[in-house]
Amino acid sequence: AQTVTQSQPEMSVQEAETVTLSCTYDTSESDYYLFWYKQPPSRQMILVIRQEAYKQQNATENRFSVNFQKAAKSFSLKISDSQLGDAAMYFCAHKTGANNLFFGTGTRLTVIP
Amino acid sequence: DADVTQTPRNRITKTGKRIMLECSQTKGHDRMYWYRQDPGLGLRLIYYSFDVKDINKGEISDGYSVSRQAQAKFSLSLESAIPNQTALYFCATSDSRTGGIYGYTFGSGTRLTVV
């Protein structure tokens, strides 16, 4: 069965600082995909970054990067130079070829001015 | 216009009422999904459809039904709403040609309150 665990229900960061959101997952598959989605107060689900399990290089999108540790089944999101607009719920999600997108419980990020 | 449109955006209904949430998409995707979001539980899959004739139950389908009227339209019904169905509901789409490996496209959600 798919599992995705986000152990930090809430996190806060000072504006311009760096924060890391944790995610662990479990799967018996060797080929899969991992995602971080952002949900601001507008409720829209916005794809922030994705990682392909067969790629060793960590994905990066501007100020957002991941630390993908395949052996540990860990997929953390690092947000650098945090901005007020980064305040949101962040969901980690996992997908194998056969299964649908499976989400963690989310981390609410507060950015302190 | 949004790629995935959900109506209504917000809805308050009474216990025992039948309610339908609608979703339409202009992405040209063949796969569509309904998720439910609850605080502390994340998003959980209710139903999914890989094409018009293919409907599948997800993790939490009890109390819900769906209809895929066309490739672009997928509606979710609560036959007799109950208060614990109060939640934020999302419709999503993906393309079978890529198998969803680039993620799903989500609508803006319907916030449903059952009183």
Which among B92, B102, B111 is the nearest to A50, CB-wise? B102
What is the C-alpha separation between B14 and B104, in angstroms, rounded? 32
Question: Is the CB of A9 inside 8 Å of chain B's CB atoms?
Answer: yes
CA nearest A10: which of A83, A76, A109? A109
CA nearest B36: which of B24, B48, B28, B26? B48
Interface test with B, best of A2, A24, A45 (most B CBs within 10 A): A45
Strand partners, B105: B93
Q: pLDDT, tens digit, for every residue of A33-44?
A: 999 999 999 999
Strand partners, B47: B34, B57
CA nearest A100: which of B109, B99, B72, B21? B99
Q: pLDDT, tens digit, for every residue of A19-75?
A: 999 999 999 888 899 999 999 999 999 999 999 999 889 999 999 999 999 999 999
